[in-house]
Amino acid sequence: MLQIRPEDIEKKSFEILTSKMDEERLKFYSADELLVVKRAIHTTADFDYQYNVIFQNNAIESLKHCIQSDSMIFTDTNMALSGINKRILTGKFCITPHCLISETDTIEYAKKNNTTRATASVDLAYQMCDKKQGSNNEKKVPIVFAVGNAPTALIRINELLYKYKPDFIIAAPVGFVNVIEAKELIKQSNIPAIICDGNKGGSNVCAAIINAVLLQMV
């Protein structure tokens, strides 16, 4: 059994997972992209992520720019919200991420419109952004969606592209119903995105992706 100091456990974990990765995949990604892929593997212990993470339209630099530009970040679950590194995101960049899925307004909106709470939360997220932009002398407010559970959130984002175009999307819902189809919509949109292709993903993966980028910025 390895005797490792607590502060060295993560470093050793990354050394081990790197040694077990496909050498061709290590060469496939850029250095910054590889850090994201490795953190997804580290979070899940699932090496399939070395094959299914798609970086679309200069994804890493686009997300960094959003973070540096006082973006509004919305997750589709409180689990993803809890997993984001607030020490960096809020402490360094003064951004407070949001999850509207359990808010009273979201629940009432979903009931009124006979839709899912994830769909309703996208609509209400855009309303929040409109208010912030209006109070900020019309300055463009970058919008980031981190979706790890609800494909209906991605579907709603796509439906509203005629009116709203988010600046970045993490498309990582997990499951079997409309998951692959919803991710395909994001691929076709050509919006800067990090997409976990196929059925895999999850709230923990969403948070891990954001954290992997945040750690590159400190």
**Which residues form the catalytic set?**
42
Is 81 in contact with 89 (CB distance < 8 Å)? no
43: helix, strand or coil: helix
Q: Residue 73: which H helix or E strand, with range?
A: strand 72-75
Q: Are strands 72-75 and 98-99 parallel, antiparallel or unpaired?
A: parallel
E-strand ranges in 114-180 read 143-147, 168-171
Cα–Cα distance measured from residue 40 to residue 38, given in angstroms and rounded to the nearest whole number: 5
Which residues, in sequence order, are CB contacts of 114 under 8 Å at separation 6+?
none
Torsion-angle region of 178 (φ positive above 0: left; ψ -120 to 50: alpha; else: beta): left
Which residues, in sequence order, are CB contacts of 48 under 8 Å at separation 6+?
198, 200
